[in-house]
A and B are shown apart, each in its own frame.
Chain A
Amino acid sequence: MTDVEIMEKTKSLFGDKIVEMTNPTERRIFIKVEPQNLVPLIAGLRKDLNITYVATISGLDLGESFEILYHFGHDHGSLTVRTQIPRANPHVESICSVIPGAVFYERELQDMFGLIVDHIPDARPLVVPDDWPANNFPLRKDWKYERPPEIIPGGKK
C-alpha cells in the first residue's frame, strides 16, 4: 500500500482520534494524537492495518512538555505516532499490552527523561548503573554534565 492509501485508510478508521497527519517525504507518515487516544489508536493500527513492528520510541524535551514519538515500520515505509505530555505531570500509558516488545524502549524513556510509564510490565531502570543517584535524567535539556578536572597521579595538573 502506498502512503496515500495508508493515510486514507487511517483517516477513515480513526479520524476522530487523530489531531494531525502529515506526509513530509515519501514513505514517511507522521500522526499526532492526544495522550488518552494513544493506546486505542495503536491497537487499531495493529488490528486493522497489521502494523505491529515498533522500531523505537524517542523522547524529546520541548521545554514545557515532553514529546514522545512511537516509530513503526511496515512493508512500505514507516509511520510515526507522536504525542505530547506536560512536564509537570509526565505520565504516559504503556503500549506493552498491545506490543510486548516495546518494554525495553519504554524503560529507557523512564531512565533518560524521568517520564512515568503507567502499567509497564517491568519498571526496573535499564541503562543507568545500579548506584545512579535518583532524579538525574540525562537527556533533559537542563541536565548538564560537568566534567571533573583531570588529576594525573604523580604528575603536573
Chain B
Amino acid sequence: MAVVKTLLYLLVYPGIIFLFVYSTFCEWFDRKVYARLQNRMGPTHTGRWGILQPVADFFKLMSKEDVVPDQADKRLFNLLPIVGLAIVGTSGLLLPVWHFNLAQSGFNSFSGDIIVILYLLSLPTLIFFLAGWSSTNYFSTIGGTRVLTMFFGYEVPLFMAVLSPAILANSWRLAEIAAFYQKKPWFILPNLLGFVIALICVQAKLERTPFDIPHAETEIVGGTFTEYSGKKLAFFRLMTDIELVVSSGLVAAVFLGGFPGGLWLGLLNFVVKTLFVIFLLSLLRAMTSRIRVDQVVSFAWKYLAPLAVLQLLIVILIKGLLL
C-alpha cells in the first residue's frame, strides 16, 4: 500500500502528471489575467475559455522540426532541456502537499528540505546560462550573461526572505513550518515584508517583466532560447511553467500557511493559494516595463537586500520577545 502511495506520489500528484496539467492551467490563468488587464481577451478559442491553449502550444512545439546549429556543443545542447525538466520536477516533489508524516522524516519531507528546494530552484538559472553558452550565437551568449548577472542580484534577498519565516517557526522543514503557521495564524503578519520581497525575487527568478531581460524579444531576438526549437523548446517552456508553480507553491507554503487537510482538502488549498500568488505575479507583470540588467542588480542590492535584512531583524526580535 505504501509502495502504491509512493508511486502515486511520484507520478501523479504532485508528480509529473499533476505538474504538467496544473502548470498548463496556471499558464492559462496568467495569460488570461495579463490579457484582461490589457483590455484584450487572451486565449478564448481552444477548449472552454481557452483553457487548453497552453497544452495546444506544447503539442504544437513538440511536432515542429528540431534544428541544432552546426557549431553548437551537441551533447550539452540536447541534454539541457531534459535535465532542466528533471530538476524542476524533483523540486515539485518536496512541496508539503500530502503523504508526509510530521513526526518522522520521509523521502519527501525532512529537516533541511527548504534549503534543498531553494537549491533546486536556483539550478535552472545555471541551465539557462549553459543553454545560451552552448548555442554559440551572439544573442544567446548575451542572454546567458544577463541571466547570470541578474542571478547575483535577486538570489540573496530571496534566500533571506524565504528563510525568515523558517527562523520564526524554528524549523528547516517545510511541513513543520506550514504546521506552525496553521496553528498560530497571526504570526503570518510579521512576515508580510518578506512576502513582498519574495514575490519580487520570484518574479526575477522566473524571468518575467519587469525582469525579463534575458529573453527580451525586441533586443536580443530570443536571448538564451534563440537557437532552440521543436521538442527542446517545448521542454524549456514546460520547465518555466513548472518553475512558476513550484515557486508559488514554495511562497504559499512558507508565507501563507501551507496546505492543511490531507489529500483532497490539501489539493483545494494548494490550488487556491498558488492561484492567489500567481495572480499577484501577473499583476506585477502587467503593470511594469522592463528594466536594464544593471538597474536590476543595483535595485536588488540597494533596496531588496537591506529590506530582507530588516525582515530578519523583525523575526529575531519577535522570536526573542514572544516565543
In their complex, do chains A and B touch, with some C-beta pair under 8 Å? no
- Which residues of A are at the interface with B, using a C-beta cutoff of 8 A? none
